[in-house]
Structure 1
Amino acid sequence: MSDKDKKQIVEEFKEEMKATSDTGTGHYNLAMTYLGERDFEAAEKELRLAIQEEPELAEAYVQLGGIAMYRGDLDSCMSYNKMAADIRPRFAVPHGNMGFVHLQKQDVDKAIASFRKALSFDPGFLQARTSLGAAYLMQGDATACLEECTKVVTKEPKFGPAWNNIGLAHLELGDKAKAREAFDKALASGYDVPEQLLQEARD
């Protein structure tokens, strides 16, 4: 299928969504189409309309949080995800996102608490478990990082960020051979391991 054909399909889908966007779900679906095109302003407009129609649509708040994160607005990202979690307390994604914001702010203890909460609701949430491993590593606990990230790659062997964390943990523990092996697997999965880390594992 040519790029022109793909674009036409997207445009037709957008028109179809616009015709049914008088509900919160309709606006949300249209917003997701715009997000796929990286048209964040249009997506934000539709997400706000979705919330007007369906104030309890937790997923819309999560997506607004994602847009805020893309713009570097950590406080707004946190606020939107808190709203989503208040609406659906057992919704794992906003808890994981709040953990990521805490990590960005170097508040590791709060990050760990958020990731653990997310995983209590969805043990298969690979991004949250990988980020929990990263948080443990930031705390200086490379062994705990290995434990969490090994669970991830056992379930999804090509999950690059987890392999990268495993490599970092092995470096921290002084095992450069295992670090190289983990970084190689991260690279094979398409993850961009920094050259500095690769060099450190080779030296």
Structure 2
Amino acid sequence: MPKRHFWISLLITLGLAAAAEPARGQAQLPHVPELDREQLEELGSSILQEADRWARFQQYDRALPRAELGVELLPSSAQAWGILGSLYLQVDRVEDGIAALRTARSLEPENALVRFALGSAYFQAENYEEAVNELRAGLDLEPGELGALFDLGNAYFMKGDFQKAIDYYETAFEQNDTFWPAINNIGLVRYEMGEVDEALELWEASQALAPQEAEPQLAIAVARYARGDRTAVRLAEAALELDVRYAEIDFLELNLWGERLIADARELLSTPQIQQVVSAVRNRRQPLSIEMIP
């Protein structure tokens, strides 16, 4: 943020930039009180809390400027840089996010949460090697963190190290035996390894844990359809009724569906019956448009 914006924002926040009366031949400038370090830190903390509140409502256009001002006021705060980095990632400014989180890491290298966030940022940037390094460093500091174990499994999956991916997914599931994404993703790995029966069993277990989740249901349908089971279309229809985003290949890739599974998914999703269902679901969920009569 340019310094002039910083100071203007600071003065407005403090109520010192209120409209002044026109000068009537003042002999000297009005006194502006200087802020000491403690006051600046209090102000910075308040602004960061405000940024966090806006972020919770996904109002990133309001949260981000406040976080940028927060790091101006608290340049030595790893928390401030961490919040800013996380907000950059939310608005797809990935490189800015990585830079901010690297600053947070330099300030607090033993902060596991910063390491986890930086690992996720590297994953978003498709730098899977660095993602692995940061996530493992964080887990050295805070072993057993469920989300980090899962993210590390994802990073190894994208690196093509299938066995390590499975190991970390299994460890994540050991932390919480209702965490269906871990079982689901082991199924994704097994399918890419050509172990279709094992993948189906894992997706069925995942579906049992989370019957209202579309992903395992659609994965089962795709695998069965690829084997010639045309009744799988009905299961695919039910899955897409739950979440029609899974009809989009880009969304499947975002959810780490591998090349083999996506190739089979294309075949099922391109059928006229599925296309009709997708169109109907999307039309039902279109926002209501009300014509205003003058």
Output the aligned Cα RMSD.
2.8
Q: Measure the CA separation in 1 of the matches of 2:203 and 2:43.
A: 46
Q: Measure the CA separation in 2 of the matches of 1:165 and 1:116.
A: 19
Please list the CA deviations of residues 80-138 of structure 1 after superposition, one character each: whole Å capped at 9, or x if unmatched.
11011111101122322332333333332222112211211111322221121112222
More divergent stretch after superposition (24-33 vs 83-92): 24-33
More divergent stretch after superposition (142-151 vs 45-54): 45-54
Please list the CA deviations of residues 142-165 of structure 1 after superposition, one character each: whole Å capped at 9, or x if unmatched.
221111111111112233432332
Q: 2:81 aligns with which of 61, 76, 84?
A: 61
Question: Gaps (5+ residues) in structure 2?
Answer: 1-40, 228-294
Counterpart contact for 2:60–2:91, Cα < 8 Å: no
Question: Gaps (5+ residues) in structure 1?
Answer: 1-20
Counterpart contact for 1:30–1:43, Cα < 8 Å: yes
Q: Measure the CA separation in 2 of the matches of 1:95 and 1:44.
A: 21
More divergent stretch after superposition (142-151 vs 52-61): 52-61
Q: Measure the CA separation in 1 of the matches of 2:160 and 2:65.
A: 42
Residue 38 of structure 1 and its aligned partner are, at CA, apart by 1.2
Identify which of structures 1 and 2 has the higher relative contact order when contacts are C-alpha pairs closer than 8 Å and 6+ apart: 1
Task: Give the counterpart letter for 1:82 in structure 2.
Answer: R
User: Are 2:88 and 1:88 aligned?
Assistant: no
Q: Measured at CA, do residues 24 and 183 of structure 1 come closer, stay the same or move farther in structure 2, by a change above 3 Å?
A: farther
Q: Measure the CA separation in 1 of the matches of 2:223 and 2:152.
A: 23
User: Are 2:162 and 1:167 aligned?
Assistant: no
User: Are 2:101 and 1:100 aligned?
Assistant: no
Percent identity over the alignment is 23
How many equivalent residue pairs?
Answer: 185
Q: Measure the CA separation in 2 of the matches of 1:191 and 1:40.
A: 28
Please list the CA deviations of residues 48-102 of structure 1 after superposition, one character each: whole Å capped at 9, or x if unmatched.
3332333232222222222211222111110011011111101122322332333
Q: 1:198 aligns with which of 204, 220, 239?
A: 220
Q: 1:26 aligns with which of 39, 46, 53?
A: 46
TM-score, with structure 1 as normaliser: 0.76
Task: Give the counterpart letter for 1:140 in structure 2.
Answer: G
User: Are 2:68 and 1:48 aligned?
Assistant: yes
Please list the CA deviations of residues 170-189 of structure 1 after superposition, one character each: whole Å capped at 9, or x if unmatched.
21333333323433454544
User: Are 2:158 and 1:148 aligned?
Assistant: no
Q: Equivalent residue of 1:23, what SS?
A: helix
Residue 139 of structure 1 and its aligned partner are, at CA, apart by 2.5
Q: Measure the CA separation in 2 of the matches of 1:191 and 1:92.
A: 30
Partner of 2:4: none
Q: Measure the CA separation in 2 of the matches of 1:71 and 1:90.
A: 27
Partner of 1:9: none
Higher helix share: 1
